A and B are shown apart, each in its own frame.
Chain A
Amino acid sequence: MGHHAEAPAESTDELVVLSVSDKNKKVRTVQVHRPVPEEVSFLPALAKGLGITLKHFFGNVVARKETETIQYPEEKKPYPARNRGLHRLMLRDDDTERCVACMCCPTVCPANCITIVPAERDDKGIEKHPAVFEIDELRCVVCGFCVESCPCDAIRMDTGEHATAVEHRYESIMTKEAMMDHKSIMQPDVLAKRGSLSTAVQGGTGPKWREES
């Protein structure tokens, strides 16, 4: 029942004193809240409650007015711009990797999830490139230190995608080729906005940078 025997009646309300005894001022007649039939029968409250739930029900059935649900695999809400997602390797103008295999990122990586095997590069100005560049996305703690430490903007985590579910652990290891294939890991609109090329001038401005600045 709405009003149990011990339940205090409207405890926040002020005590309404109806009359005070002449002989003893402490003896007073006060107004108490007695349950009234429409409260005890529940029916007005039931109707009110049903009104609220049915309003939501019909609103949602007819117009899907209040539901906030995003039908996940089909509909995706884009991550914010600063989100750290899957890694990608940025490209040079000739579609080769920007990475020069300086080993900064595997050194700084707290999860030890980056594997780089450096190799000679024909271009003497660049000297090195990674023959193997693998990131184990299961071990990655998504701290972003690799991106921070990279001296040539070669690695980024701005794909806007998170690591997907896989059936075998080895499938979660991203190879160099996978990380350079931006079209297959990024949504087209995100890729169009963020591009594949770094905004940094490729190869720097050379020895002339003092005069130019």
Chain B
Amino acid sequence: MTTTDWIFWVLDSAAIKWVVLIMVFVMPVASLLTWAERRQSAMMQDRLGPNRANIGPIKLWGILHFVADAVKMIFKEDFIPEKAHKGLFILAPILSLAPVFIAFAVIPFGPTIYPNELGSVIPLSTPVDTTNAINLQVFNIEWGLLFYFAILTLANYGSVVAGWASYNKWALLGGLRASSQMMSYEVAMGLSLMGCFLVMGTLEPEAMVQWQSPNPAHWGIVVQPLAFILFFTAAIAETKRAPFDLPEGEPEIIGYFVEYSGMRWGMFFLAEFIEIVFIAAVISTVFLGGYQVPFLEADGFRVAGTTLPISHGFVVLMQVGMLSAKILFLCFAQLAIRWTLPRFRPDQLMDLGWKKLLPLALFNLMLTALVMAVL
């Protein structure tokens, strides 16, 4: 192995790709969302929102508020109640933060990069030089979306354990509310994706993106529109945010992390925002064509028979940028929904999950199966 090969081998390792993904995309976006949520909600309500945090003259519309928040949380007292179960109390924030980080591994963040072909246009039919290829998906497994469901279910433990370990009745009740809500909506969430599995014939996110092709008429939102609405709804419920913020609602509902302070509380807070990014990434991958740019094939734009050749490097850049844009747009949409809708009552929440979303998801699944059988 030459040195170059060795460098590419390291770059292609899952650990490096995962760390880069988390540090370069996920964490900055999630941190900015903490600011964007306050600023966006303010703009929607005819206020200005936090716009004053600055380093000297650098103000940037108050974007630096997330830095100020982080500094504040680090220096705040890390309070652990006397009768709390110390081990579990410390474990709970990690349990809710870690699964979301891990689940990002199955999202394909771009096409496979062929380092030797960066400057040239890749023809569709002829084989390419695949030496040192870097797959921009951290963890390529056939059962990718099942892995995501399995891992994200673990986040449930974070809220329950936090509620129980706090030695606080209200926290315990909040934890129970969180677990009942998350378990109810996971069913509808999984079943609403089943239709997509049937149509695309795979559970592997990268293969799903390939199936959807650069033609927007093939994207999941077109072939499975009902599943898109159901999954989006269930996914917002899964993030425990308004209109489904019953486990804990900032202004009035005491929730499972009421006893947490400082950076431990910050981890719950960050987990919530990372979940927003993750939900956006999953929806982009399954329903919005993932990293596919409309009409951009591997060798360039192909519209109505004409081809505009574009080199491999630019194709990769455009596709990664496209996925980021889709994710950011869906984050924006989630924030907009969060600040538009009023909260559900607990009975309405269960009603929606079990009596509306679940039957509709089953109906969608059966209809899809029927259509697939007939075709």
A interface residue numbers (CB < 8 A to B)? 1, 4, 40, 43, 46, 49-50, 52-54, 56-57, 60-61, 66-69, 71
Interface segment among B4-12, B215-223, B335-343: the answer is: B335-343
Q: Is B229 an interface residue (CB 8 A)?
A: yes
From A40, A43, A50, give the contact of B229 (CB < 8 A): A43
- Do A57 and B40 touch across chains, with their CB atoms under 8 A apart? yes
Asked if residues A56 and B351 are in contact (CB atoms below 8 Å), the reply is no
Q: Does the CB pair B348–A57 fall under 8 Å?
A: no
Mostly helix, strand, loop or mixed at chain B's interface? helix
B352 at the interface (CB under 8 A from A): yes
The answer to whether B45 and A56 touch across the interface, beta carbons within 8 angstroms, is yes
- A2's nearest neighbour on chain B, judged by CB, is B348
Known: A4-B347, A69-B48, A71-B48. 9 other contacts (CB 8 A): A4-B348, A49-B341, A50-B336, A56-B43, A56-B46, A57-B336, A60-B43, A60-B46, A66-B46
User: Is B44 an interface residue, CB under 8 A from the partner?
Assistant: yes
Interface size on B, residues (CB 8 A): 18
Between A52, A56, A57, the greatest number of chain B beta carbons within 10 A of the residue's beta carbon is seen for A57
Give Cα A68 to B356, complex, Å: 42
Q: Main secondary structure on chain A at its contact with chain B?
A: helix
Smallest distance from the beta carbon of A96 to chain B beta carbons, Å?
Answer: 44
Known A46-B341, A49-B340; judge A69-B47 contact (CB<8 A). yes
Residue of A nearest to B229 (CB): A43
* B351 proximity list for chain A (CB < 8 A): 1
CB contacts (< 8 Å) of A52 on chain B: these are: 340
Given contacts A1-B348, A1-B352, A43-B229, are A53 and B46 in contact (CB under 8 A)? Answer: no
B48 and A53 contacting across the interface, CB-CB below 8 Å: no
* Docked pose: A46 CA to B232 CA in angstroms: 13
- Which residues of B are found within 8 Å of A60, using beta-carbon distances? 43-44, 46
Q: Which residues does chain B contribute within 8 Å of A67, judged by CB atoms?
A: 43, 46-48
